[in-house]
Amino acid sequence: MASSAEKYLKPEVIRNVARLDLRAKFIVEGFLSGLHASPFQGISVEFSEHRRYSPGDDPKDIDWLVYAKTDKYYVKKYQAETNITGYLLMDLSESMAYTYRQDLTKFEYSICLAAALAYMMVHQQDPVGLMTFDEKMRASLPAKSKRSQLANILALLAKAEPSGPTDIAKNLKQFAAMVKHKSLVMLFSDLLTDPEPVIDAIRMLRFAGHDVIIFHVLDEAEVHFPFSGMCDLRDPETEEKMMVDAAGIRQDYLDALKEMRDNYKKSCRAVGADFVELDTSMRFDTALVEYLTQRQARF
């Protein structure tokens, strides 16, 4: 039986929580409670500020308070050993505001996930920053690890609104020009644009030494295409409309979606980036496990 905290891994439940900081807290607590019964339970050591003493460690680094409580030797983890700088890159394109029958839009789902990741990183004392963009950069916060950074990130995310077209590739390249030190770059987008320039930008980020995770967030209806009869489809960014027979185009649409995602997966794998397929009906821990698994692999 799921704990009360684990309930908040479900998008339909988190929708009822008004404050973004509480959403992030509940998602993270639900995720951590679920680790005890998951094959990833070993990852919880990532949240410790200490590690077991090993031969060769400087005895001056032993935490004697911990020894007094546990009768075991632990040394303090230092920032240079454990910290990784993260940046959350949020796509503000109008298409991100879409939902068909789910409680959260693609944008709201991405905001919740980004807020949870920021919460985790700040509490681990990892520096984390934020950039929001559409056709151009709309807001940015340099990466910091102090507790006030979480409030700054949440305030920007809460005010952000998706509208108009986007240029993902241009903004990824602009980010690469701004951030010179190697970082973990987490992009949240539905990627409803020409993939080749985006893939080129991902390659550029990897060649610059950044770790990259692409969270590809689609609406549940965009993934499963549950429509029937004649449908009036509208491109939210160009306003172009088209009347189609759902049954007639369903398989072609699903094939095209699979081809697009396969192209991204193959291209990302080729350069060592990570591609996470999500839809707005999925529990948040799907993405959190992916994030932490990749993060743990960096150490």
Tens digit of each residue's pLDDT (9 = 90 or more) over 36-93: 544 333 333 343 456 777 777 777 778 787 777 777 787 766 544 457 899 999 999 9
pLDDT at 289: 87
> Which residues, 6+ apart, have CB-to-CB distance to 66 below 8 Å?
50, 72, 74
Instruction: Report the mean per-residue pLDDT for the chain.
Output: 87
Condensed to tens digits (0 to 9), the pLDDT of residues 264-278 reads: 999 999 999 999 999
User: Residue 32 belongs to what H/E stretch?
Assistant: helix 20-35
Task: Label residue 24 by pLDDT band (50, 70, 90).
Answer: very high
Q: Tell me if 213 sits within 8 A of 185, measured CB to CB.
A: yes
Domains and CATH numbers, the chain: 83-297 (3.40.50.410)
Predicted pLDDT of residue 90:
98
Tokens at 95, concatenated: 């298409």
- Please report the sign of the dihedral spanned by the C-alpha atoms of residue 250, residue 256, residue 258, residue 261: negative
